[in-house]
Amino acid sequence: MAFHRAVEDLLRDVTEKAILPYYQQLAAHQVEDKGGNDPVTVADKLSEEMLIDGLAKIIPGLPVVGEEGSHADPSIMDHLAGDCWIVDPIDGTRNFAHGKPPFGILLAMASGGETHTGWIYDCLSQRLCIAHKGKGAFVNGEKITARETGEEQPVAAISLIFMDQGRREAVRQHILPHYRLVDVPYCAAEQYPRLVLGTNDVSLFERTMAWDHAAGALFVNEAGGKVARPDGSPYRVDQWALPGLIGAASPTLFDAMAEQLAGL
C-alpha cells in the first residue's frame, strides 16, 4: 500500500538525515537535560520536526503528539483522546547520547485512546516491526508469533527507575527472585521486540507515556503476547498518567507476573 510505503520511507529518511549523522558525533552543547536525568539531543528535535512535516504530507491535518513537542507544550497531550499520530523521535536517547545502541523511532496511530497501528524502527539494524490491530504483527514484512525463551526461570527485564522507594523495595524482595534478570535496554524500541523474538519473557514498566508504549504494546499483543495493566485492563494512550504496565511473551507469563504484583 502507498500509505505504508510512505511511512516506511519517512522513517528511513529521518534516520539517514536527522539521526545517524549525529550518532557518536554529538558535541556537549548538543545534549540537554530536560530534568530528572532525561536527556534530549539536537537529533531528537530535528527528527521530530522531520517526522511532523513528513506525516503532515501523508495525512494532512492529523495531529501529532510528539515527545519533545509535548514537553514544550503539555496541551498537545489532549490529542491522545482523539485521532492522532504518536511519535518518539529517538527512543533510547540516553543510549544515543552516549554513542551506543539500542535506539530507534517509535511511531503509532491512535483513535479514541486506542492504538490501531504501530511502527518500531531500529535505526542501526534497519529492523522494522509493524502491527495492525486485528491483523497481526510483522518483522521486516514477515508475520510473526511471539515465543517464550523456554528457560526454566523466566527471563525478565524489569525497570525500577520510576518506582517510588517503597514499591522498588517490594519488587526487589518479592518479584525479582522469581526471574532471571537481564539488563533493561533503556529503549522500548528494543524491549518490546525482545518479548516477541524469544529473547525476554517478561518486562515490567512503571511510567507509561504514550510515545514509549503505544507501538510496542500493540506489536506484542498482535503477536500473541500480552501487554496490559497489572489488573488486566488494556493499555490506553490517553491514560498515560496511570503507572504500571506488564509486557509478556504469552498470556500465561503475564498472569504469573500480575498475580505476584497483586500480592505486594
Place of cell 511510567: 207
d(CA 11, CA 106): 9
* Strands 136-139, 142-144: pairing kind: antiparallel
Q: Do the beta carbons of residue 70 and residue 77 sit within 8 Å?
A: yes
d(CA 215, CA 159): 18
Q: Is 78 annotated as a binding residue?
A: no
Q: Is 90 annotated as a binding residue?
A: yes
Helix (H) or strand (E) holding 38: none
Sign of the C-alpha dihedral, residues 132, 133, 138, 141? Answer: negative
Q: Is 67 annotated as a binding residue?
A: yes
Pick from 28, 34, 178: nearest CA to 98: 28
Helix (H) or strand (E) holding 224: none
Q: What are residue 203's DSSP bridge partners?
A: 157, 247
Sheet bearing 114-122, strands edge to edge: 64-66, 84-91, 104-111, 114-122, 128-132, 136-139, 142-144
For 140, phi and psi rounded to 5 degrees? 50, 40
Distance of CA 105 to the CA centre of its chain: 9
* Annotated binding-site members for Mg(2+): 67, 88, 90-91, 212
* Annotated binding-site members: 67, 88, 90-91, 212
